[in-house]
Copies of this chain bind each other. A is one copy, B any other.
Amino acid sequence: MDDRKKSASTLKDVANAAGVSVGTASKVLAGVANVSEARRRQVSEAARKLGYRRNSIAAELRSCRSMSIGFVVPDLTNSFFIELVCALEDHALECGYRLILAHAQEDPEREAERIRFVLSRQVAGMIIIPCHGYEHAISELRECDVPLVMADRVDSSFPANTVTTDSHRAAMDGTGHLVALGHRRITFIVNALDLVNSRERAQGYLEAMRLAGLENHARVVVCGMSETESHATTLGVLAASERPTALFTGANVATLGALRAIRDAGLRLPDDISLLSFDDAPWMSVLRPGISSIHQPVEAIGRAIWNLLHRQLQGESSEIVHLRMRADLRVRDSTGAVRYDECREATPVSAAPPL
């Protein structure tokens, strides 16, 4: 039962109306040469009059070539990903490609479904930022040889091109900043440790703490993927007997939850507690106190992803590359020197490990 849309004129309609063959009509509508100016005009005119719109589904099917790129994003709520979307859209557009956005909402099952969906639309290439482990994603991609770039939440052991931020180093930098401010009891609040980059961040934090001789004060708290959870978790952290003098949140959602908790606990930034956020966002620099944060080089990451993908799209080099970008620390007002009394309290006489 072919119950398709009423009409929606087709190429044949246009050809008929213009008194030419479909082949000719196809050519002029595709902008290919080898058509006389007269016929060109006839066809364009007919197309305009009929309100012709190319059925690119059919065109792609026939030509076995698609100009769309699937982009699977884990969380549109995170401004880092949004900025990446914008950057990639621009690059893709410049090369004549279109982005097909697929939102996984931090849900591995949905992510698998999204990947399947995008793939079934015969995209020319894929960009994936996986949620949780990337096993789901990878298993969805089995024996599929579309050009692929994975980003952000992957590591160099991944068997495809990857672009990531050096989270380990960034977390060390961030921790170092807090330590330099005199903080000892620094708690790292992370959404989930099965996110590769979150894990790296936590490890970077731990290493920096160790290097500062503060392993006894190191504390990593896992708070889940939602703001509600991270809020509750942070509230717990703040209520503990030896409250930390600084919080280092491992990602955007955690920052939101932590800030709300700090507010609810009646604490002031940075006087009562310092906060450093991994992941920057526009609003962080707009209020007072501004939130100190670690800013990932979105532009560079986007460009790198696109370059890697484009190279494959062009059929050049299939050598696997792992790019690692450097994030920078943006010190604002939410991180301050520890207060003397806190400091005392925070440095048990017993614990003073070497280095």
On A, residues with C-beta under 8 Å from B are 2-6, 8, 51, 53-58, 60-61, 64-66, 76-77, 79, 82, 85-86, 89, 98-101, 103, 105, 116-117, 119-122, 142-146, 227, 256, 259-260, 263, 268, 281-283, 285-288, 290
Contacts and interface: CB of A to CB of B under 8 A. Distances in A.
A88 to B, nearest CB: 11
Contacts of A285: 260
Given A82-B76, A287-B259, A53 B144 contact: yes
Contact of A260 (B4, B53, B82, B286): B286
A117 B98 contact: yes
Given A64-B2, A64-B3, A85 B57 contact: no
Given A79-B77, A85-B103, A282-B227, A145 B58 contact: no
Nearest to A5: B145
Contacts of A53: 116, 119-120, 144
A98 B116 CA distance: 12
A217 B245 CA distance: 47
A120 B56 contact: yes
Contact of A144 (B51, B58, B77): B51
Contacts of A283: 256, 259, 281, 283
30 contacts: A3-B65, A4-B64, A4-B65, A5-B64, A5-B145, A5-B146, A8-B144, A51-B142, A51-B143, A51-B144, A53-B119, A53-B144, A54-B120, A55-B120, A55-B122, A56-B117, A56-B121, A57-B57, A57-B60, A57-B122, A77-B79, A86-B105, A89-B103, A89-B105, A101-B101, A101-B103, A256-B282, A256-B283, A259-B286, A263-B286
